[in-house]
Structure 1
Amino acid sequence: METPDLDISSYQTKTPPNTPEEDDASSNGDFEKLPSTWDFSAATTRHIKTLKKYTEKTDRASKLVQQEGPCLCRLENTLGKNSIDTMTSPLSSTSEAGEEQTNEASGTIHVSKLEYKRVDEIWNEKEGKFKIVEWVGSDLDRLDEFLFVVRERTDKNTLERTSYIDIKSPWIRDILREICENVRGVSLVDSKPSIELNIIFHVRSDLQRQREVISRGSERSTAEKHLKVFLRYLEAAFRPIDERLSELLKNKEISYDLLWALFKPNMEVYTTCKGTQVSRCVLYSQMERKKDMAGTPYMHIETRYLGSDGKALGEVPSSSSIPIFRGATRIDLLPAYPLQYHPEKDEIRSQLEECGRRFVSLLGIHHQQYKGRAFDYDEDGNIVACHVEGNIMVDSECFQENMPNYPCPRPQKVRPQWSVLGRCEAVKLVDIDPEQLQPEDFLICSPTILGFSLAMKKFLEFAVKHVTNVKWSECSFEDVNIPEGKKKAIYALTKTYIGRGADDAFHDFIQGKGRGINFLLYGPPGVGKTLTAETLAETFKVPLYTVAAGQIGVDHVRVEKILKSIFKIASRWGAILLLDEADVFLAERALDPYTNALVSVFLRELEHYEGILFLTTNRMNTFDSAILSRIHLPLRYEPLKKDAREGVWLFFIKQARTTAGHATYNDKVINDLAEKKLNGREIRNTVFIARSMAEYDGKVVNEAYLREAIETRKQLDEDFQGAGAIENTHSYL
């Protein structure tokens, strides 16, 4: 038989209404009065029909899974004959009694009995709210005399019962306020507040300690007497749960109906990041039974951790879920469970604390390297994971500026917190000083950081665990095969710009204009234009932000918006910006309105760019004069000659290192390879193929692998250059 949908525990922030207070003139109207005998008179027909409706469901309810606990009363007794007998007879608990204390002027009744009372609350269909059901002539009008009232609420649909404690004793109230000060989902603001009984399950030891402290006084205080009655009730109420829980925990197991008893407020919870699948730790706040779209029950667990929006470090809400399961299961197999039950809790704690320290060190803007799983969300809110390898920019603030609709929780501002005196205090949850963090704080830091993949040109969430410092290439700008004079000019302009001061006067005297350095690299494909920008970034150890002009589009309105964003981001990161194949923005303006609009937009945005920009194009002429006037240094690249090809082969072979070691070569090998009339891009791809094959074989790159890679590309070259065309036609015959 399937387990029914039972609302095991619902730690709601908003506590259900308390029992009526005596100074409420309309309080008597909040109760359904039942006859004290089984006289089914016309006057009580409506009330009996209500009871009959619930009684008819008893047979069905009795077949449901039996569960223990004050809020999980055995359902075979739910509003059956026994419950009706209970509601039509006096209710009492303790035998101790005190004297009544009534304010003659106001008629307000204060706590005067060392007793508690139990009442039942059911749904009133006519009035659309829960109402207390009691027998006529009972003392419901004097509920404030009791220390506390145990209110059993019956769900209108499932017949499940949830227990609430309506606190009347100011001593019990004040002690609970102090104990539950940092417990989420609990509001003890009212003078006579209500609290779900299950929450008290985890603070019984604190209550007992408070009683022991109070009892050390010379005289037995009123607070101690009230606590004694309260603790006596809690001991009896939770005894069945304690017995079941103890047996389960001996085997490190738990049942679904006792999940609420496993998670203690503010305890450390182990789970995994949904996007990167790395381990993480959060703090438990509260839980609630829910159903998914298919109607399948699950336990919704609300948690929190330390995160950052790029501006401040603070507390961020999060959540996990545990699907319903039968019987008992190992605790460490749950999607989320207390960290203390992790098989390697000490090791995982150490790892997460170190990850937290790394997270804090990455606050702000950082150029880093990454290899691993990253993710973002699609339009429907589903996680889209991908593998990222290469340089990234860590920048949470920039991420959220460019991804305003991204479903990323932000640090909460303030949370109201009530002290034992009932004074509302604002607890600051943002702008936490990282220098003041303790090991337990690092433990709950976010396992992911927001940033941008420079290779994929995409904002993503990255696992902090896989973020490392950049490993710069051994090859430098000096190895690039371009004329020495122009190489020196490029290097000097770049170095001067990067090392400039804020008050540098070498820019347009109109503020905000002309503060960048613009290079134009033009010539045939594969002659080193892109390589020039790449090696320059490696040499100066700055990010290289590459954007293909085709990714920007041709709609001038959209282009303006995208260019503005690209220039702003590149300037923010201090990156070298490479706008590749920028032909459409460089073309001479004529009669074509679309081209004119694009060039005009580009010129306007270029005026305000503050950074180093490389424009590359295969065009050899027809540049717009206005564009040329804004170029600091144009550089023309010629087709590679043999000596230039030797330099390119040498450049890439030096970088072709495998796990077995560096590549082996000599001057003769380089000279022979340079005989092949390949451009720079083709040489790069050939070396990449050779390296991949050598890595697969567990060897270093050598002449054999390089020649094999050339032969691999040979067929492609022949097909596109006409060789082998006749032979290929036979495949269609």
Structure 2
Amino acid sequence: MTPKTNLEKQAAMMKPEGATPLPKAIHSLSPESCGDVPSKKPPRVRYRTDLRHRDSKKLLTRMFSDSPGSLQGEDQGDEPTFDLVTTYYTAVQAPQPDLGLQANVLLESPTYQLNIYSPAIIHALRSIVEYYPAQDLTAEVLEIQWPYSILAHHYDELSAYRDGHKDKSPETVCRRKRNTVEDLALLLEFLDENIMKEVRAEQERNRRGAYTWEHAWVMHRPGATMLVKSREETDFAIRVVRSIERGPHAWTLRSWSLDYDGIHLGRTETVSTVPRFGGEGGMGKIFFIDENAEEDEIKSLDEELQHHLEEGKKFWNLMHKQCQYYKGESAQFPFNEMDGLVMSDLKTYYEQEPDKAPDLLGHDDLRNWTSNCDCLACRNQHSDLRVKDGVMFDEYQKLTIEVNSRLTPHQYLVCPRVIKAYVFRTRRWEPLHIRHFRKPQWNQDLMNSLVMDEGKKTTLKALSKSYARLNKRDERLEQDLWSADFVKGKGAGLVFLLHGRPGVGKTCTAAVRLIVFCMWIGFLRALESYDGILFLTTNRVGSFDDAFISRVHIQIYYPDFDDDQRKQVWKTFMDKLSKERGSTMRLNIDAKEYIASKPVAELKWNGREIRNAFQTAVALAEYDNEKDEEGRVLITDSHFKAVTELSRDFKNYLHELKKGDESKRAERRMERLDTYGTLVKGK
């Protein structure tokens, strides 16, 4: 073995940890060794060594050689196929030839870089590389930093590209590609001798689910689709690798996925780190998925991808404003358990919280090189530089539900698995898991069970259906809703005001197929521009301003129940129990007789009080657990008597304390007049 020169010893001693040893010399290849392709000059590697100042980066000394073990000053040969540039840094302020590259003046480990001059290699890279944001491929001389990741990641494509040009005649090949076979053979041999052995060993580790920190870049090829979960995330996320950059203690990994900013669905970047570790570590899953891959092809790769596809479709659908049912944990600490209706409305959320809208990527990282060659071969070969039409990932920009009816399977795959939604129970926007969203199940019979005047009930149904553009036969009305207001955008909504004493059915009316939540309306104009159906319920109508009342379309008064209506309410709850728990519990005859008795009627309970009493009696019966001959829990009159006695005592106490019942107290405060219905009937 040839002894190392002083330069080789110094470089080997000072190379960065995990770096490739000083490259082995690659001899020039003759044209005959790569096929009978004419070439004006044989390809060669030139070795260049630079000495620069540590702070200013000013060049102090530059030397050339045709092998890594010798220095010969100025280069006298033809332009090389590519340079291997080794750069050292020093604190010396000016060139001092007598010092040369002595170790005592070198302060840092050297850096390595390939400068590619060969038009054939540059053309080949521009032809096969579709997405590599960290590497500039537009320059006349390509500068590729160690560990030459773009070349290692495209080694197989470069090899196939070279093989595809071996049998082509010079007349049919672009002038820039006439040295393709020889120049690529030289480059591939250089890669084989210097980095591919370690790359292939790392790829073998990747195939068994492991990787090393030193070679983490190998599995993170830009454009690859990866399945990962960070410490901050509770779900696996799918992202596309953008770039990976090595630091002294960690790799910085940049990736992107799709997200919605309130206007467009587009690509948004995530930056994560891979801290240094020793030995081997377990890796996430990496897939090389074509952006135009079919759904079945993606599903066949991994079971987890099937879930992501379905959730991506759900996310796309949830970009439409809609009410959903959610049952499960929230996606953010403290991971509250949610069970109820939510509203998906990202547009409104980002209008309220513009600072929280994601920043979408532009086109800067997408392929932007084109052919500017006007030779006959290129003119005869359409889009000579493109492997396929279009720019990779260009169709992932500025997607909208108005223009794009659906996404591609890969686009669904990289959609978020968490979405912000408004939770009506907490009245807050919460991050929620896509997988827990369901279509709400509405109680279509709720209106029929509502105890109120049939005429008012018919009017409510008619107005609500008409606003939804349905006639009484549930047929779709073609024309838009007519507005009597001359100002466009005003008077397009339908506002109901339901007023009366507590527990007479106001909230129940609004909850038929609507979301009920409390709110303060601070601006009267908000009512005029509201374009939906709005139910306002109150038991203090006397507190309303006249200007507010004038903006309400329909006012409906709910009088107190009479005895027959209270019996109907009791029957409603008995029917509900029979329907939902008839196989496990029942009311005996004594309970039914007690419910219809005079002592219960004298309580003058409202609907809410009847509901609470019924629910409490059921709970007491379950505790006693007395069963009939069929094994069903018996609800008896004793369970109801226990509730009514407690209620009667408490009401009497309040009446004495406040000098009147609830209706009289409300009348004194001028909040409402519960005797209104009686007074009207008396006339």
Regarding TM over 0.5, the answer is yes
Deviations 1:152-191 (A, max 9, x none): 4568999455533211111111111122232232211111
Give the secondary structure class of the aligned counterpart of 1:635. Answer: strand
Change in Cα spacing, 1:436 to 1:517, as seen in structure 2 (3 Å) is closer
Tell me what 2:321 maps to: 365
Q: Write the letter of the residue equivalent to 1:149.
A: D
Give the CA deviation at 1:149.
1.5
* Pair 1:494-2:427 in alignment: no
Give the secondary structure class of the aligned counterpart of 1:615. Answer: strand
Give the secondary structure class of the aligned counterpart of 2:432. Answer: strand
Contact 2:226 2:286 in 1 (8 A): yes
Q: Looking at CA atoms only, which structure, 1 or 2, has the larger radius of gyration?
A: 2
Q: Using the alignment, how far apart are the partners of 2:149 and 2:618 within structure 1?
A: 63
Q: Write the letter of the residue equivalent to 1:115.
A: R
644-653 or 336-345: bigger deviation = 336-345
Change in Cα spacing, 1:269 to 1:670, as seen in structure 2 (3 Å) is farther
Q: Write the letter of the residue equivalent to 1:523.
A: G
- Aligned counterpart for 1:245 among listed residues 188, 195, 202: 202
Query: 1:666-677 to 2 correspondence within 5 Å?
Result: 666=587, 668=589, 669=591, 672=594, 675=600
Give the CA deviation at 1:247.
5.6
Contact 1:111 1:169 in 2 (8 A): no
Tell me what 2:518 maps to: 547
Q: Write the letter of the residue equivalent to 1:261.
A: V
Deviations 1:309-356 (A, max 9, x none): 45444433334444443321233xxxx441589999532222222323
Q: Write the letter of the residue equivalent to 2:343.
A: M
- Aligned counterpart for 2:344 among listed residues 348, 369, 394: 394
Change in Cα spacing, 1:654 to 1:243, as seen in structure 2 (3 Å) is same
* Pair 1:609-2:560 in alignment: no
Q: Structure 1: 5+ residue runs without aligned partners?
A: 1-36, 39-50, 74-82, 99-109, 292-296, 377-382, 553-558, 560-600, 724-733
Tell me what 1:590 maps to: none
- Aligned counterpart for 2:116 among listed residues 148, 151, 167: 167
Give the CA deviation at 1:630.
3.2
Q: Write the letter of the residue equivalent to 1:223.
A: T
Q: Using the alignment, how far apart are the partners of 1:153 and 1:492 within structure 2?
A: 83
Give the secondary structure class of the aligned counterpart of 1:455. Answer: coil
Q: Write the letter of the residue equivalent to 1:532.
A: T
Give the CA deviation at 1:204.
0.4
Change in Cα spacing, 1:280 to 1:533, as seen in structure 2 (3 Å) is same
- Aligned counterpart for 1:338 among listed residues 266, 276, 286: 286
Tell me what 2:495 maps to: 518
Q: Write the letter of the residue equivalent to 1:147.
A: T
Q: Write the letter of the residue equivalent to 1:531.
A: C
Q: Using the alignment, how far apart are the partners of 2:236 and 2:251 within structure 1?
A: 20
Tell me what 1:484 maps to: 454
Q: Structure 2: 5+ residue runs without aligned partners?
A: 32-38, 66-70, 91-105, 171-176, 290-297, 374-384, 470-476, 655-683
Tell me what 1:466 maps to: 436
Give the CA deviation at 1:212.
0.5
Query: 1:186-197 to 2 correspondence within 5 Å?
Result: 186-196=135-145, 197=148
Tell me what 1:533 maps to: 510
Deviations 1:538-583 (A, max 9, x none): 2xxxx4252333xx6xxxxxx4xxxxxxxxxxxxxxxxxxxxxxxx
Query: 1:77-226 to 2 correspondence within 5 Å?
Result: 93-96=26-29, 114-120=43-49, 124-125=53-54, 127-128=56-57, 134=63, 138-139=72-73, 145-153=79-87, 159=108, 162-196=111-145, 197-218=148-169, 221-226=178-183
Q: Using the alignment, how far apart are the partners of 1:241 and 1:692 within structure 2?
A: 71
Q: Using the alignment, how far apart are the partners of 2:186 and 2:495 within structure 1?
A: 82
* Pair 1:283-2:240 in alignment: yes
Q: Using the alignment, how far apart are the partners of 2:195 and 2:327 within structure 1?
A: 51
Q: Using the alignment, how far apart are the partners of 2:580 and 2:614 within structure 1?
A: 16
Give the CA deviation at 1:438.
4.1
Give the secondary structure class of the aligned counterpart of 2:356. Answer: coil
Q: Using the alignment, how far apart are the partners of 2:368 and 2:317 within structure 1?
A: 34
Contact 2:498 2:538 in 1 (8 A): yes
Give the CA deviation at 1:289.
4.0
Q: Using the alignment, how far apart are the partners of 2:372 and 2:126 within structure 1?
A: 8
Give the CA deviation at 1:205.
0.5
Q: Using the alignment, how far apart are the partners of 2:527 and 2:410 within structure 1?
A: 49
Give the CA deviation at 1:529.
1.7
Change in Cα spacing, 1:265 to 1:512, as seen in structure 2 (3 Å) is closer
Give the secondary structure class of the aligned counterpart of 1:489. Answer: helix
Change in Cα spacing, 1:679 to 1:155, as seen in structure 2 (3 Å) is farther
Change in Cα spacing, 1:693 to 1:195, as seen in structure 2 (3 Å) is farther
Q: Write the letter of the residue equivalent to 1:172.
A: I
TM-score, normalised by the number of residues in structure 2: 0.69
Change in Cα spacing, 1:395 to 1:607, as seen in structure 2 (3 Å) is closer
Q: Using the alignment, how far apart are the partners of 1:705 and 1:313 within structure 2?
A: 60
Give the CA deviation at 1:632.
3.1
Deviations 1:372-431 (A, max 9, x none): 23347xxxxxx7754332223333323322221115343646755234526999745324
Tell me what 1:25 maps to: none
TM-score, normalised by the number of residues in structure 1: 0.65
Q: Using the alignment, how far apart are the partners of 1:195 and 1:348 within structure 2?
A: 36
Q: Write the letter of the residue equivalent to 1:390.
A: G
* Pair 1:317-2:294 in alignment: no
Deviations 1:50-95 (A, max 9, x none): x9xx98x999x79x9x52x43xx5xxxxxxxxx9xx9xxxx96424
Change in Cα spacing, 1:358 to 1:608, as seen in structure 2 (3 Å) is closer
Give the CA deviation at 1:209.
0.3
Q: Write the letter of the residue equivalent to 1:519.
A: F
Taking only the aligned residue pairs, the percentage that are identical comes to 23
Query: How many residues are aligned here?
Result: 569
Change in Cα spacing, 1:453 to 1:93, as seen in structure 2 (3 Å) is same
Give the CA deviation at 1:721.
7.4
Change in Cα spacing, 1:431 to 1:614, as seen in structure 2 (3 Å) is same
Q: Using the alignment, how far apart are the partners of 1:428 and 1:695 within structure 2?
A: 61
Deviations 1:220-266 (A, max 9, x none): 94111111110000011114413642563464322222211122222
Give the CA deviation at 1:681.
3.8
Q: Using the alignment, how far apart are the partners of 2:222 and 2:582 within structure 1?
A: 54
Q: Using the alignment, how far apart are the partners of 1:150 and 1:209 within structure 2?
A: 24
- Aligned counterpart for 1:328 among listed residues 256, 267, 280: 280
Give the secondary structure class of the aligned counterpart of 1:371. Answer: strand
Contact 1:283 1:304 in 2 (8 A): yes
682-691 or 524-533: bigger deviation = 682-691
Change in Cα spacing, 1:414 to 1:114, as seen in structure 2 (3 Å) is closer
Give the secondary structure class of the aligned counterpart of 1:417. Answer: coil
Q: Write the letter of the residue equivalent to 1:327.
A: G
Query: 1:337-356 to 2 correspondence within 5 Å?
Result: 337-339=285-287, 346-356=302-312
Tell me what 2:417 maps to: 447
- Aligned counterpart for 1:231 among listed residues 163, 181, 188: 188
Q: Using the alignment, how far apart are the partners of 1:503 and 1:349 within structure 2?
A: 42
Give the secondary structure class of the aligned counterpart of 1:548. Answer: coil
Q: Using the alignment, how far apart are the partners of 2:237 and 2:222 within structure 1?
A: 18
